[in-house]
Structure formats: C-alpha cells, structure tokens
Chain A
C-alpha cells in the first residue's frame, strides 16, 4: 500500500468555487444594506414631552397621597352591615348573649322606637314562626 503524504503529493485544493461576478454583486448588495450613519436628533417636542410627563406625574402623586392616607386611616372602622353579617353568620354569639349586653337605656330605646305593624303582618309572622309562641309564653 502506498503511503499518502500531504506535503509530497501535489497540493489538494479545497475545490470550492463561487458564481461569476459573485464578489462584485456581494459588495454592491452589502453597501446598500449597511445602516446609514445619521446623527441622532432629539426633537424639541420630545424634550418638552418628557418634562410635561414628569410634572404630570408629580401632580398625580400630590393628589393621590392625601386620598391614600385618608383611606388607610379609615380602614380600621367596620361598617354596620359587615358587623351584622359577622354576628349572624360567623360568630357564636346568640340572641341571649346580645340580650345580656343590653342595659336599661338600650331597652328604653327599643321600647320608644315606633314600629308600625299592621295586624295582618303580625298574624302572618305568628303563623309562620311557631317558635314565637314559645318566646311569648316565656
């Protein structure tokens, strides 16, 4: 077997070739595609716009901060409806506990409140709530 020697045999070329006029076309295409070196300009309007936006942001913050502070301080108060819902559905407080918490003044207030009920309404309530009879007897 004859030993192959890269340096003694005639040099083997890569065999690669290009289309005719490839390099001329390549240069022309490339020069067209290069980004143009135009100086960056910032319009006066753009500059003004930034300043206007900054001033607007300061105004919005100035208006928003007092409102946020007010909301934050009022958030500890619980409105009546929430309290009632909590007592009705979430707590173990029953009507006897509530009665025990009433003092003389509260009872007077309840008695002094004029609740106008028609006879028909009272009858309906008594018919539909059997337990009431038990309370009346008590």
Chain B
C-alpha cells in the first residue's frame, strides 16, 4: 500500500475517495471479517458487524488524526462494534453474554459456514471460559496471528501484559482440552 499519510489524503479527497475506499475495502475486509467472526461466531452477525464497521470507518475518516495506524484504528472500531453487538444481542434475548456465546458455540455444529470438527468445537468452548480480554488476546494471537505490537496498538495494552495474558489463556485452554 502507498505511504499511509498519502493514502489517508486520498481517502479524504472527494475526487479520489471512491477508488481509495475500494482499495481499503479490498485490503481489510478479509482480516476484519475474520477478527469479527472470531468474536461474534455467527456468519450473518459477522457480516452485519463488518458492514457497520466500514460505514463507521468511512464516516469518521475526517476525524482520524493519524495518531495510530489506520490498520489498528480500523481493528479498534471492529472490536468495539463486535462487542457492542454481542452485548445488545444478549440484552435483547434476556440472557448474559456468556450464555449467548455458549449458545452460539452449540449452534456451530449445524452452521453451514463452520467447517470444524470436535476438537475445534472443544477449543471454542474452552476459549469461551476465559475472561473477555483474554479471549480477545488469544484469538488475535492464535487464530489471526497478529504480532504483539499490533495487538498492543489495537487494544491499548502493553506488550508485556499481552504476553502474560496470552500465556495464562494458553495454560487454561490446554488444561481444559487435556481433561476433555
């Protein structure tokens, strides 16, 4: 991709905005979809959240100060949108976020857009037992293979704290999978 400052200028300029935004979509829609899907689990929900994320990105481009990278800014928006979506869905269903997540994992077996076996379902169930922040860190590191520095910029947590968090998450998941 072009120099980020130049690319942001293209996104803000009405003449070049359309092409620049298409490039942005092309580059980030897959990684952001994966990030959102790992949080909300259901494909249709992930598609809705991804759409809201890109609309928010588009609407707030003029307010983007460039203090962080465009990549981490977009991931931050996607994370917030996904977590807000889950909380709203749980509230509407009258259940806790944890119950909603367990329900979503139980539905995975019947999901046509889930191609996993029992070990994968067991892994998702083990992840669901972790605190919210540890879940995020584990998913971003293990499934999305983001660097600690990138996760640190997205979540606003120090690299050291992230490493500790990931280490605890791995230990808990391994213990749960060993028992099962």
Contact = CB atoms under 8 A, between A and B. Distances in A.
A19 B138 CA distance: 26
B160 to A, nearest CB: 20
Interface in B27-54: 29-30, 33-34, 37-38, 41, 43, 47, 50-51, 54
B63 interface: no
Interface in A1-43: 1-7, 12-19, 22-23, 26-27, 29-31, 33-35, 37
B178 A1 contact: yes
Q: Which 7 interchain pairs have the tightest Cβ spacing?
A: A15-B116, A4-B177, A15-B120, A4-B178, A14-B143, A16-B37, A37-B14
A3 B178 contact: yes
Given A12-B119, A16-B115, A31-B21, 15 more contacts: A3-B174, A4-B174, A7-B170, A13-B143, A14-B37, A14-B139, A15-B124, A16-B43, A26-B29, A27-B22, A29-B51, A30-B25, A31-B25, A35-B59, A37-B14
Contacts of A34: 21, 55, 58
B123 A12 contact: yes
B97 interface: no
A17 B42 CA distance: 10
Interface residues on B, range: 35 or more
Interface string B103-126: 000001000011111011101100
Contacts of A14: 34, 37-38, 116, 120, 124, 139, 143
Interface of A: 1-7, 12-19, 22-23, 26-27, 29-31, 33-35, 37
18 contacts: A4-B177, A5-B174, A12-B120, A12-B123, A13-B116, A13-B143, A14-B34, A16-B41, A17-B115, A18-B33, A19-B43, A22-B47, A23-B30, A26-B50, A31-B18, A31-B22, A33-B51, A34-B21
A68 to B, nearest CB: 48
Contacts of A4: 174, 177-178
B26 interface: yes
Contacts of B21: 31, 34
Nearest to A38: B14
A26 B51 contact: yes
A17 B114 contact: yes
Contacts of A5: 174
